[in-house]
Amino acid sequence: MNTMDKYISTVVKSVPPSGIRKFFDLVTQTKGVISLGVGEPDFVTPWHIREECFYSLEKGYTMYTSNHGLLELREEIAAYMKRSIGVEYEPQDEVLVTVGVSEAVDLALRTLLEPGDEVLVPEPSFVAYGAGSSLAYGKPVSVPTFAADEYRLKPEHLEKCITPKSKILILAYPNNPTGGIMDREDLEALTDIIIKNDLIVISDEIYSELTYDNKHISIASLPGMKDRTVLLNGFSKAFAMTGWRIGYACGHPDIIGAMTKIHQYTIMCAPIMGQKAAIEALRNGDTERKKMLESYNCRRKIILSGLKEIGLECFEPRGAFYCFPSIDSSGMNSEDFCEKLLVEEQVAVVPGNAFGSIGEGFIRCCYAASINNIENAIEKMGNFLTRHRSV
């Protein structure tokens, strides 16, 4: 067979495949696997949200919407931003509805980057930020965070990585994969650096409703930060709406307008049925969301206790639904640990190096799984570690 490799962009070639999706594909090909891999709620979207989608179809809502998204949804998003983080956005030109937060990340990066601009990415981090920066002809720059600091981005680590080419700082808290959060004091320690170096912040707050001890604080709510922050959020995690693919971006009208220009040429609009369901989620979804959060908190305690019992040291996550335990005691690297665990015990977790090189020596365990699956997975991991430690 003739190769077509010579036609493929060198930028695309340079981007590695997602380490998360690699293990997701392995899981789907292996029977009987207990998955703590993919970050997807095990809850079905609440009935009243699904019902609103059914009603919208019955009423004939099968058409395009404005490129910006339904004004009714943008108004609800603006109202939600005001009550949840205390920031006011104008629905007409400061809110854009996207196809999940993933599209919003892509749009923001493509809107803001010139070739060679640097994107500061605190790591460990979600896989899309570095790859998305490269695909937008920017240069991702890793900024390390550490378990000893509860994976908070420290100003001294940020300053060391800033150069004259630095343009964007990505903040993603609560964090995937670590479960770390940033308090108000943590964010305030960064703002002078951000303003002094004229950085734009892309703040991915998809896990903002999933915090366990502290209320989420958005950097957009701090003095001087609203206009230089592109705030991203969506419905996948808090409302168990992963497959609906509805996200949004809020920010300065010039930036949102430029993002909308790309969106209208490449996507046009998010599906209207999903937008209708999202309106219902924001209006009436708090009760079910709080029940899911209580369940995640219970599972968080179970998995932390289990990891401790089998000898894996782990930072206690403050948000999201991930644990990021160290596997140094196993004597294996992250990839070997995950591959052997999958083959020998049919348990799927994600190697830490999928989230940046600083994640080597760790694994990500998602506890958005049933308690029974979590307990069985911990037992199997314990057997696996006992067997390999004795070799």
Closest CA to 141 of 126, 155, 158: 158
- Are residues 92 and 161 part of one domain? yes
Model pLDDT, residue 4: 86
Residues 6 or more apart whose CB falls under 8 angstroms from that of 223 comprise 191
Question: In this structure, are residues 380 and 342 in contact, taking their beta carbons and an 8 Å threshold?
Answer: no
Give dist(CA 220, CA 87) in Å, integer. 7
- Are residues 277 and 164 part of one domain? yes
Range of the domain at 22: 5-45+287-389
- Are residues 295 and 224 part of one domain? no
Residue finishing a domain among 265, 285, 305:
285
CATH number of the domain bearing residue 238: 3.40.640.10
CA dihedral 331, 175, 215, 190 (to 10 degrees): 110
Q: The tokens 């991915």 sit on which residue? A: 204
Question: In this structure, are residues 96 and 68 in contact, taking their beta carbons and an 8 Å threshold?
Answer: yes
How much is the mean pLDDT over the chain?
A: 95
Model pLDDT, residue 12: 87
Q: The tokens 């380490």 sit on which residue? A: 19
pLDDT digits (tens, 9 = 90+) for 73-105: 999 999 999 999 999 999 999 999 999 999 999
- DSSP-derived letter for residue 5 is G
How many domains is the chain partitioned into structurally?
2
Return per-residue pLDDT of the chain as tens, 391 residues. 578 888 889 888 888 776 666 666 666 666 789 999 888 888 999 999 999 999 999 999 999 999 999 999 999 999 999 999 999 999 999 999 999 999 999 999 999 999 999 999 999 999 999 999 999 999 999 999 999 999 999 999 999 999 999 999 999 999 999 999 999 999 999 999 999 999 999 999 999 999 998 899 999 999 999 999 999 999 999 999 999 999 999 999 999 999 999 999 999 999 999 999 999 999 999 999 999 999 999 999 999 999 999 999 999 999 999 999 999 999 999 999 999 999 999 999 999 999 999 999 999 999 999 999 999 999 999 999 999 875 5
Counting every residue written for the chain, the total comes to 391
Q: The tokens 């196809």 sit on which residue? A: 99
Give dist(CA 50, CA 69) in Å, integer. 19
Residue finishing a domain among 266, 285, 304:
285
Give dist(CA 256, CA 254) in Å, integer. 6
- Are residues 149 and 218 part of one domain? yes
Burial class (CB in 10 A: 0-12, 13-18, 19+), 142: middle
